[in-house]
């Protein structure tokens, strides 16, 4: 079923004493159950249920039915929700440094992302989140690189963006990224994107193919310009309430962490194939595809690095960015 | 201009010290308190006036500051190519002020929305109801006020993306609103006699005793005592006429507290309430109400309604048909039911009343046409349903058009037959020349409408921004028309605006507080896994016809309690999967869901949309609910038709 909330029942209650005390874990994912963003939560719930022999029980909520991602973060801090999928952009509300993932052209591909999350920059972010916001980051989940979806035509060079209204999430790095190219950034919520394209409130927006499909924006915007791995990136995380974790007996805490590590692997497996499949689905829905010439991408990268990186470093210092760049090139 | 704005009538009793609300003198039970004025009571009254004035200042400033920000944003974006970027994150503050402070002002004026079915019929209940209402409101405000302290602390680490403002600052109006509720509740209780208080306390103790007995019986019967008592508490609070928002909040908080959920429970209640009332799309509602007041005050509505009367005044129910058509067209712009009602309702309400149209019928037509408008594209509900399920938003939009037309025709039919007696007054024959003059007088109104429609369809302004644009145009016209008439000084115009803004806050606050309270109920139901149990139970149904029969009855009831959107989020995906597994077309069922839940929003006695509409057109809710019966029957017929005749949805 594609339930709004569902329970994951133990399929294997033979291990580690099913007679032990049961712990209910309320988990939340902001999008529908079948969206790939929820994979890390679902795999974790399945594996942890069986590893703990049913002592850990999961009640999963989807579709923001407990509130917006920001509200769910607050509920998680209050230990009403114990486990949640949230994007790094949403985490910037509590630890601004997570904006690192919104820096344009930082990551050349998923290996670069993994180098950063597994390296000192990732560790620094995790520790800052725990100490200043009392949120424990348990795992990372790859989402995808943004391309440009337009209703009016392809974006073949950065000058094509001049004067165009471009929809972005409200984030200073993203608005700077596009205003530095002469575009007019229009921040709006996801719910407003469909009609925004329809009425022409904006003409273009950076999205991955998967998120376009999930929200059916291909119904109202038909031009997809592939920029490659650069212009923007979205990373998801699995977060937990630290006092809930410390209330668990040691063996169950270990089971949960083990389940998360396995889920991290499974969720990120085959992500390139998934992306290719998403693009094909868009093509069958009548979306036209074009690839931005590499010279244009290079010009964009040049511009973005000059204008946007200083915005980040002036706010958070340069050590985090330096560490990230060192991990990527090392 | 001799007519007084709805707002300026309020002004005379709110700004001028001599007519400020006196404690107890404005209770909604109609019992005037005539205790001799002691020095203490005089001091109390003047303190309340000062307090009330400060709160009024806050809501007025919030409303106009937000207006300035929204206008600056789209002018900046469309004219100068540079958007403000931070306008959305800041809008949380005025929305929160309008909700929580506005609701407190409404309570002080006896305008909190409540159910009067029992208090109007049972004198024994009516006798104790005022004290029960004030005490339960006091408990509500204290619980929420205390819970908001750790809530505000817990969001200290959270900041907004662009300006980096702490969420705590943006959320503090909830605390201020609760302090105001406490002050007003105490003041109202302070002027009660000892015997009134004593009888009220006895009634409250009786409620608690009944709850205790029910608890015992439930335990003995093996039924969960917590849900039983929560439902009983909810019903008891409604029966004694406590504000609906208080009933929702207290009953669900009790449920959460007693069902022993993990975590710092009480902070969750304000978290959920604040989240429910601060989505940007809600901004359109106060602005459209204010725009309606201004257009009415500036004489634009008069021109428009007079012109409409010339055209269709001789048709049975003619002016009501105008409302139906306007709502159909307007719902094609805004995407929000309450915004549609605000815009059309406030613009025509006074003119219609002056022309002898029944306010009750106007409220009924507005409410049911708002249900109709739910499936006219664009529709927020359809976009949300499309984004949480596999359904295509485009197909839902197309699928919704014919059902809306069917509902519209049913509404027009009911209006036709129920208007027989209304329009039997003799209508003076209007000559061609007079008609032409009326048409010319209606031109400014058409110009305003044209600018708004053009702005949205060209993509230059969003629906929310168009509501602000409407206010700006309304202000301009009021200023221009007054300068010409030289009837009022700028000071008087300012005072009128003040009164209108306070009226907007009172209206928006009452409704938004219910939305906030219902969000706690919806949260409690989800955490309590009630929806999963409902889904399991539905899994036992194997007949398409039986399932659809259940849906057309259950959806309006659920929508009435959970206030549309939360219900759609929670129930949309599972119900759709049951429906498609039984062979119902997904798009068709999607439209059934939208109409069914929308129906609930406007269903008496507690549908938020229904209560809101009554307030907008200043009609008595119980009288409206009687007038609505044939209309509701018609909508129900339409809903059944959409559920059982797939062609209605799928033929286009
Ligand atoms: Na903006
Ligand atoms: Na609509």
Q: Where are the alpha helices (DSSP H) in B335-392?
A: 337-354, 359-373, 380-388
Per-residue pLDDT at A164 exceeds 60: yes
Contacts of A188 in chain B (CB under 8 A): 88, 462
Range from B188-197, B332-341, B516-525 that averages highest in pLDDT: B188-197
Is B448 within 8 Å of B474 (Cβ atoms)? yes
For B568-613, where are the E strands, in sequence order?
Answer: none
Say how many Å lie between the CA of residue B390 and the centre of ligand 1. 30
- B527 confidence band (pLDDT: 50, 70, 90): confident
Per-residue pLDDT at A133 exceeds 60: yes
- The model's pLDDT over B54-110, given as tens digits with 9 standing for 90+, comes to 999 999 999 999 999 999 988 888 888 888 889 888 999 999 999 999 999 999 999
Per-residue pLDDT at A146 exceeds 90: yes
For B65-195, where are the E strands, in sequence order?
Answer: none
Say how many Å lie between the CA of residue B272 and the centre of ligand 2. 26
Residues A60, A66, A69, CA angle at the centre, nearest 5°? 100
Q: Which of residues 21-40 of A touch B (CB under 8 A)?
A: 24, 26, 31-33
- How many Cβ atoms from other residues are within 10 Å of residue B490's Cβ? 10
Whole-number CA gyration radius for chain B: 25
Average pLDDT over residues B418-431: 63
Instruction: Find which of B261, B459, B580 to mutate to test the A interface (most A CBs within 10 Å of its CB).
Output: B459
* Alpha carbons A308 and A326: distance in angstroms, whole number: 19
A291: contact with B, CB 8 A cutoff? no
- DSSP lists the bridge partners of residue B312 as none
Say how many Å lie between the CA of residue A146 and the centre of ligand 1. 21
Is B635 within 8 Å of B407 (Cβ atoms)? yes
Closest ligand (CA of B329): 2
> Taking CB atoms and an 8 Å limit, are B160 and A191 in contact across chains?
no
Percent over 90 (pLDDT), chain B: 48
Chain A residue closest in CA terms to B578: A1
Residues B229, B230, B233, CA angle at the centre, nearest 5°? 80
Per-residue pLDDT at B6 exceeds 50: no
Nearest to B579 by CA among B569, B595, B591: B591
Say how many Å lie between the CA of residue A187 and the centre of ligand 1. 6
CA distance, residue A311 to nearest chain B CA (Å)? 12
Closest ligand (CA of A169): 1
The region of weakest confidence among A15-19, B113-117, B500-504, B625-629 is: A15-19
If you average pLDDT over every residue of chain B, what do you get? 86
Contact pairs from chain A to chain B, CB under 8 Å:
181
Query: Least CB-CB distance to A215: which of B275, B380, B387?
Result: B387
Average pLDDT over residues A67-94: 93
Instruction: Find which of B79, B85, B266 to mutate to test the A interface (most A CBs within 10 Å of its CB).
Output: B85
- B378 confidence band (pLDDT: 50, 70, 90): confident
How confident is the model at residue A63, as a pLDDT?
83
CA distance, residue A61 to nearest chain B CA (Å)? 8
Contacts of B83 in chain A (CB under 8 A): 184-187
CA distance, residue A10 to nearest chain B CA (Å)? 17
Average pLDDT over residues B235-261: 91
- The model's pLDDT over B61-71, given as tens digits with 9 standing for 90+, comes to 999 999 999 99
Per-residue pLDDT at A18 exceeds 80: no
Say how many Å lie between the CA of residue B465 and the centre of ligand 1. 10
B347: Cβ contacts below 8 Å, ≥ 6 apart: B291, B292, B295, B296, B301, B304
A9: contact with B, CB 8 A cutoff? no
Chain A residue closest in CA terms to B579: A1
Whole-number CA gyration radius for chain A: 20
> In which element (H, E) is residue A14 found?
none
* Alpha carbons B120 and B110: distance in angstroms, whole number: 16
Q: Is B160 helix (H, G, I), strand (E, B) or coil?
A: coil
CA distance, residue B599 to nearest chain A CA (Å)? 21
In this prediction the pTM is 0.88
- The model's pLDDT over B251-299, given as tens digits with 9 standing for 90+, comes to 999 999 888 665 557 888 999 999 988 887 788 889 988 988 888 877 7
Per-residue pLDDT at B414 exceeds 70: yes
A314: contact with B, CB 8 A cutoff? no
Q: Which of residues 240-279 of A touch B (CB under 8 A)?
A: 241, 244
* Alpha carbons A263 and A41: distance in angstroms, whole number: 8
The region of weakest confidence among A23-37, B25-39, B43-57, B594-608 is: B25-39
Contacts of A94 in chain B (CB under 8 A): 157-159
Is B144 within 8 Å of B249 (Cβ atoms)? yes
* Alpha carbons B72 and B500: distance in angstroms, whole number: 22
Per-residue pLDDT at B5 exceeds 50: no
Q: Where are the alpha helices (DSSP H) in A78-182?
A: 88-91, 110-118, 120-133, 172-179
CA distance, residue B89 to nearest chain A CA (Å)? 9
Say how many Å lie between the CA of residue A228 and the centre of ligand 2. 38
HSE-up of residue B248 (Cα within 13 Å, Cβ side): 30
Per-residue pLDDT at B14 exceeds 50: no
A67: contact with B, CB 8 A cutoff? yes
Contacts of B577 in chain A (CB under 8 A): 1-3
How confident is the model at residue A4, as a pLDDT?
44
Average pLDDT over residues B627-640: 96
- The model's pLDDT over A237-272, given as tens digits with 9 standing for 90+, comes to 999 999 999 999 999 999 999 999 999 999 989 888
> Taking CB atoms and an 8 Å limit, are B161 and A165 in contact across chains?
no
Say how many Å lie between the CA of residue A203 and the centre of ligand 1. 15
B196: contact with A, CB 8 A cutoff? no
Chain A residue closest in CA terms to B155: A74
Contacts of B277 in chain A (CB under 8 A): none
Contacts of A215 in chain B (CB under 8 A): 386-387
B292: Cβ contacts below 8 Å, ≥ 6 apart: B301, B342, B343, B344, B345, B346, B347, B349
The region of weakest confidence among A15-24, A261-270, B232-241, B368-377 is: A15-24
Length reported for chain B: 652
- B339 confidence band (pLDDT: 50, 70, 90): confident
> Taking CB atoms and an 8 Å limit, are A1 and B388 in contact across chains?
no
B206: Cβ contacts below 8 Å, ≥ 6 apart: none
* Alpha carbons B263 and B639: distance in angstroms, whole number: 42
B50: Cβ contacts below 8 Å, ≥ 6 apart: none
Per-residue pLDDT at B317 exceeds 70: yes
Average pLDDT over residues B126-139: 96
Higher pLDDT, A110 or B477: A110
How confident is the model at residue B12, as a pLDDT?
33
Chain B residue closest in CA terms to A4: B570
């Amino acid at each position: 079923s594609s339930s709004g909330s569902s329970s994951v029942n133990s399929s294997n209650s033979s291990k580690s004493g099913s007679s032990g005390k049961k712990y209910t874990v309320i988990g939340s994912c902001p999008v529908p159950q079948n969206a790939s963003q929820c994979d890390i939560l679902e795999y974790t719930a399945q594996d942890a249920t069986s590893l703990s022999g049913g002592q850990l029980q999961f009640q999963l909520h989807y579709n923001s039915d407990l509130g917006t991602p920001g509200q769910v973060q607050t509920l998680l801090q209050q230990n009403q929700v114990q486990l949640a999928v949230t994007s790094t952009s949403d985490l910037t509300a509590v630890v601004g440094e997570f904006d690192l993932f919104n820096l344009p052209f930082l990551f050349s591909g998923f290996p670069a992302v993994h180098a950063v999350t597994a390296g000192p920059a990732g560790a620094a972010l995790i520790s800052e989140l725990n100490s200043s916001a009392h949120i424990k980051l348990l795992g990372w989940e790859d989402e995808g690189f943004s391309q440009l979806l337009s209703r009016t035509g392809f974006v073949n060079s950065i000058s094509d963006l001049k004067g165009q209204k471009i929809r972005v999430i409200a984030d200073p790095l993203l608005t700077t990224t596009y205003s530095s190219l002469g575009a007019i950034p229009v921040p709006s919520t996801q719910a407003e994107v469909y009609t925004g394209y329809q009425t022409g409130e904006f003409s273009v927006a950076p999205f991955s193919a998967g998120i376009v499909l999930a929200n059916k924006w291909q119904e109202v915007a038909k031009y997809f310009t592939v920029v490659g791995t650069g212009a923007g990136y979205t990373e998801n995380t699995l977060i937990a309430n630290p006092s809930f974790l410390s209330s668990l007996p040691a063996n169950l805490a270990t089971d949960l962490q083990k389940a998360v590590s396995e889920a991290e692997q499974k969720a990120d497996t085959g992500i390139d194939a998934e992306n290719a499949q998403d693009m094909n689905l868009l093509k069958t829905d009548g979306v036209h595809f074009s690839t931005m010439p590499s010279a244009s991408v290079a010009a964009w990268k040049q511009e973005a690095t000059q204008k946007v990186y200083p915005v980040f470093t002036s706010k958070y210092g340069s050590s985090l960015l330096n560490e990230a760049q060192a991990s990527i090139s090392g | 201009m001799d007519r007084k704005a709805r707002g300026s009538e309020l002004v005379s009793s709110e700004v001028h010290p001599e007519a400020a609300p006196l404690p107890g003198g404005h209770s909604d039970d109609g019992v005037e308190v005539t205790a001799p004025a002691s020095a203490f009571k005089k001091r109390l009254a003047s303190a309340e006036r000062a307090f009330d004035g400060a709160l009024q200042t806050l809501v007025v400033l919030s409303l106009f500051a937000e207006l300035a920000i929204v206008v600056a944003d789209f002018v900046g974006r469309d004219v100068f190519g540079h958007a403000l970027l931070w306008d959305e994150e800041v809008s949380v503050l005025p929305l929160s002020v309008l909700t929580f402070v506005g609701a407190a002002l409404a309570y002080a004026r006896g305008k909190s929305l409540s159910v009067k079915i029992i208090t109007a019929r049972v004198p024994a209940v009516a006798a104790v109801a005022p004290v029960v209402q004030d005490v339960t409101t006091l408990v509500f405000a204290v619980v929420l006020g205390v819970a908001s302290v750790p809530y505000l602390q817990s969001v200290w680490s959270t900041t907004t993306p662009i300006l980096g403002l702490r969420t705590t600052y943006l959320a503090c109006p909830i605390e201020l609103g609760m302090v105001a509720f406490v002050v007003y509740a105490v003041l109202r209780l302070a002027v009660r006699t000892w015997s009134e208080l004593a009888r009220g306390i006895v009634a409250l103790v009786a409620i608690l005793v009944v709850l205790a007995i029910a608890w015992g019986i439930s335990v003995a019967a093996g039924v969960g005592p917590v849900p039983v008592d929560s439902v009983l508490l909810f019903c008891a609070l409604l029966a004694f006429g406590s504000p609906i928002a208080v009933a929702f909040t207290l009953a669900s908080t009790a449920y959460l507290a007693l069902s022993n959920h993990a975590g710092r429970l009480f902070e969750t209640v304000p978290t959920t309430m604040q989240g429910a009332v601060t989505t940007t799309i809600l901004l359109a509602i106060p602005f459209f109400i204010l725009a309606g007041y201004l257009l009415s005050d500036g004489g634009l509505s008069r021109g428009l309604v007079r012109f409409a009367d010339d055209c269709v005044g001789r048709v049975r129910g003619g002016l009501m048909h105008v409302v139906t058509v306007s709502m159909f067209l307007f719902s094609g712009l805004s995407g929000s039911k309450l915004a549609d009602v605000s815009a059309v309702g406030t613009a025509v309400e006074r003119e219609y009343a002056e022309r002898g149209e029944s306010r009750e019928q106007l409220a009924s037509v507005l409410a049911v046409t708002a249900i109709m408008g739910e499936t006219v594209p664009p529709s927020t509900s359809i976009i949300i349903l499309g984004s949480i399920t596999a359904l295509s938003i485009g197909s839902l939009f197309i699928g919704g058009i014919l059902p809306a037309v069917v509902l519209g025709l049913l509404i027009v039919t009911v209006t036709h037959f129920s208007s027989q007696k209304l329009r039997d007054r003799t209508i003076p024959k209007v000559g061609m020349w007079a008609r032409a003059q009326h048409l010319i007088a209606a031109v400014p109104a058409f110009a305003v409408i044209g600018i708004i429609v053009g702005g949205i369809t060209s993509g230059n302004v969003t629906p929310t921004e168009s509501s602000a644009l409407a206010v700006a145009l309304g202000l301009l016209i009021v200023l221009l028309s007054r300068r010409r008439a030289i009837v009022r000084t700028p000071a008087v115009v300012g005072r009128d605006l003040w009164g209108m803004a306070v009226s907007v806050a009172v209206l928006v606050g009452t409704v938004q507080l219910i939305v906030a309270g219902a969000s706690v109920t919806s949260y409690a139901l989800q955490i309590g896994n009630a929806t999963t149990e409902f889904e399991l139970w539905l899994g036992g149904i194997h007949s398409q016809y039986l399932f659809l029969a259940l849906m057309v009855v259950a959806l309006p009831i659920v929508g009435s309690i959970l206030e549309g959107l939360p219900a759609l989020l929670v129930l949309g995906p599972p119900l759709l999967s049951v429906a498609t597994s039984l062979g119902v077309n997904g798009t068709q069922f999607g439209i059934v869901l939208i109409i069914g839940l929308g129906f609930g929003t406007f269903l008496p006695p507690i549908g938020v949309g229904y209560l809101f509409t009554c307030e907008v057109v200043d009609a008595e809710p119980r009288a409206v609910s009687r007038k609505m019966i044939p209309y509701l029957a018609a909508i129900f017929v339409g809903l059944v038709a959409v559920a059982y005749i797939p062609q209605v949805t799928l033929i286009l």
